[in-house]
Structure 1
Amino acid sequence: MDKEMIPQVALNSGYRMPLIGLGTACDHIPGNLTSTLINAIELGYRHIDTASLYKTEEFVGQAIAQALERGLIDNRSDVFVTSKLWCSDADHDLVLPALKETLRKLGLDYVDLYLVHFPLRINQGTGTPFQKDEILPFDMKGTWEAMEVCCRLGLAKSIGVSNFSSKKLSQLLTYATIPPAVNQVEMNPAWQQRKLRKFCDENGIHVSAWSPLGANGAHWGSFAVMKSPILGDLAVTKGKSIAQISLRWAYQQGASPIVKSFNEERMKENLQIFDWELTQEELDKINQIPQKRGYPGEMFVSPNGPYKSLEELWDEEV
């Protein structure tokens, strides 16, 4: 697939982002991840999503370097790279060193997009899972100021957030001198984020969708997408897969899905969502799917932390 065939969105930062990304979060990092990512670039993927927490940044960097060597891409700028600041570095003085470490692992001079992974801070050096007593007060203002420094230094072309509710975004916008370009959140036909999408749309923030297929209940998530009778019927009618129907739905909502499959056939299939569309009647059917968050986020709730309930964590968007 020619990269020109993947539409792009103009972010509020002035940069453009491909409207489908390949995610690299995995429970067990496959031994052939670098070659899988090179293959993804060869298939046409031009947005790769990683994070400090995923421990896949080095593989992403190796894949880009080898894709350049092999002539699969002409320039570093041909691939859009997103990475994320983990909660243990969500503090004013830790953000810049964390991004520099990410760039070292990637072997790159800049990331295209750097996101605050979660509106939370935990003890330095802590990964996941973490204990409730490791959750610390989160200085959103100080953290965001340091994110803006990263942007002004050119180490991150665009900056944004992940897993922020409308209320938390609203708070952030009161003091941000560089507004977040993206909010990456759980979003799929079984968790459509209507309220949040409306808020982001009104404030010029692009929504990126993680878990666009519902995560299939490995440790969390559900089969509400992949076993949805409504989506199953639409897939038969359209001659598409349920995954393609779900990804096309997200795209037609103006969001950019982050897909995660290392299976070559599914990787190809996930890119084939741009030359057909869902009708309004079909979209109305998808709106009838019962809504439930797949990832509740109980680990971020603590009696002594900033969020004492799931309602506080998601600000009623549960």
Structure 2
Amino acid sequence: MCGRYVMALRAGDLGDVLDAEVPEPERLRLSYNIAPTSTVPILVERYEEPEGAAPTDGAATTLRREVHPARWGLLPHWAKDASFSSKTFNARSETAAEKPSFRAAVRRRRCAVPAQGYYEWRAARDPHTGRTVRQPFHIAPADGSLILFAGLYEWWQDPQLLASGDPAPWVLSTTILTGAAPVVGDDCAGEGGGREHGDADGGDEVLRALADIHDRLPLALAPRTLESWLDPEPWSADQAEAAVAGLRGTALECARGWGLHEVDRAVGDVRNDSPELIEPPSRLL
């Protein structure tokens, strides 16, 4: 799963990296400890008709790539209140195309969620106390590039804002797709340390380490799948199912290039938000 992540690029820098426009840069907040229901950037593509053209005059449309702020936790149109998003910040790729909370978005409203890295917790038994302890890890591309998680988005009309006469009662929300952790052969060594990997064996070591930490993995978009995933054209139910299934294989290719290391348990408190959170514990003050 993905319950905390890092996105600390300034809006202008993020737009440059993604080759996208950022219409509301003031609404994007830098954070080293993003939690569900926070406002996060998402990358979308939409059609733009030429200025002054009527919808029926046959004028050509162009695709426009933009970064918009969204609530992390998907709000389908039928959600009764915003608290629903606290349980929809991740969508299981195995069922997203058919589950009521996500199926409409899979067919029509797909996005990418940029991240510089994310946190995951490994549960283990303390041999001295017998208690279960959870050790956080920071996971990020070894080359310092961005991760683009496969995401979905929805527009939800807030009934309270609507009743109050607020001129902007619509809330944009998003979720990150996840898949089962990879299974690799027993001959692939690795204990979850943070070395960088570039060859096949190193990639397998990373996958094994990820599976050792958690049985779920957020799905990253490979460059060749990003364009088709962001395409705003609607899909049929069969197309949606096939596209989501295809993401799982290419996501593992992306994960082979990641590195990971333990971090301090301070990341478990969302009030902590600083660059030191992504460093190994020995370097924390």
- With normalisation by structure 1, the TM-score equals 0.25
Provide the TM-score with structure 2 as the length reference. Answer: 0.27
Higher strand share: 2
> When you count helix as a share of all residues, which structure comes out higher?
1
Name the larger-Rg structure: 2
